[in-house]
Structure 1
């Protein structure tokens, strides 16, 4: 009986130790909480990319003489999101792709404009 009490204490300590409030942990909790609205996030991702991100290569290439790699990256990220969403990927994959797309496009704009 003593071993059951010791293991219960050990698991409580381990759970308390892993409950740190880091930014990565908060992001993971947020992704897991959005599992019911996976279709909504897929549609939001497609609309944001279609309206804001797909015109970026045209502007950067025409006005700022950006390399064609900008177009390749934009289309790759766009089609990766479509394939992941329609292929039944999990919510974590969809949100990570969407976040990566936002970060990469922001960096491309900053690098080409500045």
Structure 2
């Protein structure tokens, strides 16, 4: 039978000064963001596929046709696409998936800036 307990545990009002101060740098912030997105892994997989398919796969054609970029641009794009596809379909963790996607975004932005400017 459930009973109602009227006694509360004693509250500890002493400030604990020995608490560890956590360093917050870019890596820990990205890792905590990625860990918080674990339940959205399938959504991130679809976002990665859409971004690659719509934005990054046509980019080599534009860069090679209009800006005379070398064929290495196509190779880099295909390697990034298939690396992300295989990692996500192969069951890589959310940290790896987001890290690979971030590297892919940075590479494509760098290629676009190099050949357009």
Matched, 1:45 2:19: no
Aligned to 1:85: 88
Residue 60 of structure 1 aligns to a residue whose secondary structure is helix
Question: What residue in structure 2 maps to residue 4 of structure 1?
Answer: none
* Counterpart residue number, 1:20: 23
Structure 1 residue 68 displacement after superposition: 0.4
CA distance in 2, matches of 1:92, 1:25: 12
Unaligned runs of 5+ in 1: 1-11
The CA distance in 1 between the partners of 2:25 and 2:94, in whole Å, is 20
Instruction: Say what the alpha-carbon RMSD is for the aligned residues.
Output: 1.4
Q: Which has the larger radius of gyration?
A: 2
Q: Does 1:34 align with 2:37?
A: yes
Report the Cα offset of residue 66 of structure 1.
0.3
Larger proportion of helix: 1
Residue 104 (structure 1) aligns with: 107
Instruction: Please list every run of 5 or more consecutive structure 2 residues that lacks an aligned counterpart in the other structure.
Output: 1-17
Q: Are 2:58 and 1:55 aligned?
A: yes
Cα distance in 2 between the residues matched to 1:84 and 1:25: 22
Query: TM-score normalized by structure 1?
Result: 0.84
Q: CA deviation at 1:21?
A: 1.8
Q: Find runs of 4+ consecutive structure 1 residues off by over 4 angstroms.
A: none
- TM-score of the aligned structures, taking structure 2 as reference length: 0.82
